[in-house]
């Protein structure tokens, strides 16, 4: 009982330490107050160390779990800090970012993560169903991000609540529409907040909380597994946390690779130092993989110093394409490649295994490749003498590839979007609406939805009453969901457009329509009117970005009361359609 009280005490102290770090980073302070904060930080770390040692003393099974590696690193790091402060008295002159030691703040945050993850978090469907919990998690992160962005040290000048809410929503919903210049209006602290909001929004708050709780606790309740399986679409309960692990490992793995390649593609001439280059690389790798489209450059990649950096463009475009494929697809493709590689060296293994790529992966990959190829050719031909004119022949191909891929929710631009030809603009409308793949960091109605709709039309044209593909039949519920998503998306976009025509009647209707499609599909491309929207217009776009990220179908599902299935069927009767 006393142990539980102390663990609870350690958690409360770590929580206070977490908010103290936020206060410390967000507000200007004098040196005497900084010393008080540092003392509290060391107390927090010390209590966290005692709690960790107690856990291992009373529960020897922890030595056999992977958590020991995290704890070992944290303990060594914390002990080093305490030793340097207490016995050596080093004033941390090697600090890289802030007045007082960034390493000490990191130790406090690690302590908070350890204590928070050790708590038993229970998701109960009696209070909130999975759809409502999913929506609430996004609202919570958006509001927290809004508060953080309004801290004095987050921006160069004071920011309004509306602009902070807009920026936070755009980051969490991985949209990329901005009303302020990310690079010049936000400080490094503010840009870091935006980057973290993108990461949490791209993967989902529940993904982080659930997996780390599972990792530290070594298990989860049956109720939690059911709720999480509904959110991440796991077919088997046993696969819930395996799926979460893959999501985190794939995300961080590709972001690490992308940030390294971005760093190697940069020219030192355009940065103030190596740290500036490193931050640029990390920020853009996270923004790209999460399909957010945020950039610290005022003109995105169209910036005069970066618009001809084709290696950088290729790294970013492949990063957001992989992020937009969807985690189940990436996992399935990686397993496919692994098995193919093994069977190449040992042909007898897996020789009888059919369907290495499942139907969902096949539809997604074929549709994505088809749409991208058609879009690249169209963009190249339509923009050859327009926005592509300033590029070399190789540059035209790379820029056309980038311009064709980015409307599918990425949001980066290597050309002036406002200058593209009208036919290209219409194609961009369609690409934005289609979006990325299901269970990905991208938005839109999703390529599988678009594919199912096209396949349904073809089946009806052939006189078939079901959709068959690769010797498989697509379930009726998938067809119903596809057309529900399409109908609801067009309804939201149309309503938002009408409202914007009322609140911002001085803007061109084409610009406002583009803004609505971009917001709903969480793309982030704009024809230059985002920052000029009225306050009411900004709130409309905030709502559209939020609905686009969670999907209108999820919102409708969360609102309506579920009806239990009845064991009866009415007689069927056809309705005249055409």
Residue spans per domain, the chain:
2-117, 130-321
Element (H, E) at 473: strand 472-473
Over 90: is that where the pLDDT of 49 sits? no
Q: Residue 217: is its pLDDT beyond 60?
A: no
Q: How far is CA 381 from CA 176, 386, 403, 437, in A?
A: 27, 10, 12, 26
Per the structure block, which two tokens stand in for 42?
A: 């060391």
Q: What mean pLDDT value characterizes the chain?
A: 81
**Long-range interactions of 551-556: CB distance < 8 A, separation 24+:** 551/485, 551/488, 552/485, 552/488, 552/489, 552/491, 552/492, 553/481, 553/484, 553/485, 553/488, 554/131, 554/134, 554/135, 555/131, 555/135, 556/488
What span, in angstroms and rounded, lies between the C-alpha atoms of 424 and 137? 37
pLDDT grade, residue 233 (50/70/90)? low
Tell me 469's DSSP state. E
How does DSSP classify residue 94?
Answer: T
Q: What percent of the chain has pLDDT over 90?
A: 30
CB atoms within 10 A of CB 265: 17
Say whether pLDDT at 234 is over 60: no
pLDDT of res. 100:
45
**Mean pLDDT to the nearest integer, 291-299:** 88
For tokens 């927290």, what's the residue?
144
Q: How is residue 306 written in tokens?
A: 């970066």
> Which of 11-20, 257-266, 522-531 has maximum average pLDDT?
257-266
Higher pLDDT, 557 or 428: 428
Residue 207 has pLDDT above 50, yes or no: yes
Q: Each residue of 311-352: pLDDT tens digit? A: 999 999 999 898 888 777 887 788 788 777 777 666 655 555
Between 409 and 389, the higher pLDDT residue = 389
pLDDT value of residue 29: 77
Region 417-432: mean pLDDT is 91
Q: Using the 8-state DSSP alphabet, how is residue 385 labeled?
A: T
Give the model's pLDDT for residue 95: 42
Q: Which helix (H) or strand (E) is 562 found in, with range? A: none
- Which CATH number fits the domain 2-117, given the four candidates 1.20.120, 3.30.420, 3.30.1460, 3.30.1360? 1.20.120
Instruction: Give the integer Cα–Cα distance in Å for 7 and 119.
Output: 9
In sequence order, what are the residues at sequence separation of 6 or more whose Cβ sits closer than 8 angstroms to the Cβ of residue 191? Answer: 182, 183, 279, 283, 296
Low-confidence winner among 55-59, 120-124, 415-419, 524-528 (lowest mean pLDDT): 120-124
Give the list of residues 6+ apart from residue 279 with CB closer than 8 angstroms, or none: 188, 191
Looking from the CA of 526 toward its CB, the CA atoms found within 13 Å total 21
What confidence tier does 46 reach under pLDDT thresholds 50, 70, 90? Answer: confident
- Nearest alpha carbon to residue 429 among 516, 551, 542, 346: 516
Backbone angles phi and psi of 125, in degrees to 5:
-75, -15
98: pLDDT confidence band, cut at 50, 70 and 90? very low
């Amino acid at each position: 009982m006393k142990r539980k009280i102390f663990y609870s005490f350690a958690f409360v102290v770590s929580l206070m330490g977490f908010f103290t770090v936020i206060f410390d980073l967000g507000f200007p302070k004098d040196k005497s107050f900084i010393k008080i904060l540092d003392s509290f930080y060391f107390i927090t770390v010390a209590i966290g160390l005692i709690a960790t040692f107690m856990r291992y003393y009373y529960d020897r099974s922890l030595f056999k779990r992977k958590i020991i590696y995290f704890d070992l690193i944290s303990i060594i790091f914390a002990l080093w800090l305490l030793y340097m402060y207490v016995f050596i008295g080093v004033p941390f002159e090697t600090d890289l970012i802030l007045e007082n030691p960034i390493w000490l703040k990191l130790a406090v945050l690690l302590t908070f993560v350890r204590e928070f993850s050790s708590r038993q978090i229970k998701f109960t469907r009696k209070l909130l169903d999975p759809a409502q919990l999913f929506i609430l998690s996004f609202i919570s992160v958006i509001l927290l991000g809004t508060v953080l962005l309004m801290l004095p040290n987050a921006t160069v000048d004071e920011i309004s609540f509306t602009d902070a809410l807009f920026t936070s929503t755009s980051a969490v919903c991985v949209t990329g529409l901005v009303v302020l210049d990310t690079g010049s209006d936000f400080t490094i602290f503010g840009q870091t907040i935006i980057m973290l909001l993108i990461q949490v929004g791209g993967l989902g708050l529940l993904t982080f909380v659930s997996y780390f709780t599972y990792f530290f606790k070594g298990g989860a309740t049956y109720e939690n597994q059911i709720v999480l399986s509904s959110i991440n679409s796991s077919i088997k309960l046993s696969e819930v946390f395996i799926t979460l692990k893959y999501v985190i490992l794939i995300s961080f793995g590709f972001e690490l690779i992308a940030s390294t390649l971005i760093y190697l593609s940069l020219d030192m001439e355009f940065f103030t130092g190596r740290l500036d280059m490193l931050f640029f690389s990390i920020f853009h790798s996270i923004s790209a993989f999460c399909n957010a489209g945020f950039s610290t450059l005022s003109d995105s990649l169209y910036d005069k110093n970066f618009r001809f950096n084709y290696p950088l463009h290729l790294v970013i475009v492949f990063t957001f394409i992989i992020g937009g494929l969807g985690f189940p697809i990436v996992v399935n493709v990686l397993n496919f490649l692994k098995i193919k590689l093994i069977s190449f060296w040992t042909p007898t293994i897996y020789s009888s295994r059919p369907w290495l790529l499942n139907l969902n992966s096949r539809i997604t990959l074929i549709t994505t490749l088809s749409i991208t190829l058609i879009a690249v050719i169209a963009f190249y031909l339509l923009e050859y003498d327009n926005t592509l004119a300033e590029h070399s022949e190789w540059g035209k191909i790379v820029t056309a590839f980038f311009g064709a891929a980015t409307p599918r929710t990425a949001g980066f631009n290597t050309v002036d979007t406002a200058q593209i030809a009208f036919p290209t603009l219409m194609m961009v409308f369609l690409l934005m609406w289609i979006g990325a793949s299901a269970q990905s960091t991208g938005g839109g109605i999703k390529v599988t939805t678009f594919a199912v709709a096209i396949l349904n039309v073809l089946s009806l044209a052939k006189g078939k009453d079901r959709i068959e593909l690769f010797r498989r039949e697509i379930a009726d519920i998938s067809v119903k969901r596809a057309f529900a998503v399409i109908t609801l998306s067009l309804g939201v976009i149309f309503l938002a457009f009408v409202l914007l025509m009322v609140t911002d009647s001085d803007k061109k209707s084409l610009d406002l329509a583009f803004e609505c499609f971009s917001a709903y599909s969480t793309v982030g491309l704009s024809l230059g009117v985002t920052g000029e929207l009225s306050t009411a217009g900004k709130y409309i776009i905030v709502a559209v970005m939020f609905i686009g990220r969670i999907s209108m179908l999820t919102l409708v599902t969360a609102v309506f009361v579920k009806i239990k299935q009845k064991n009866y069927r009415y007689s069927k009767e056809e309705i005249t359609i055409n």
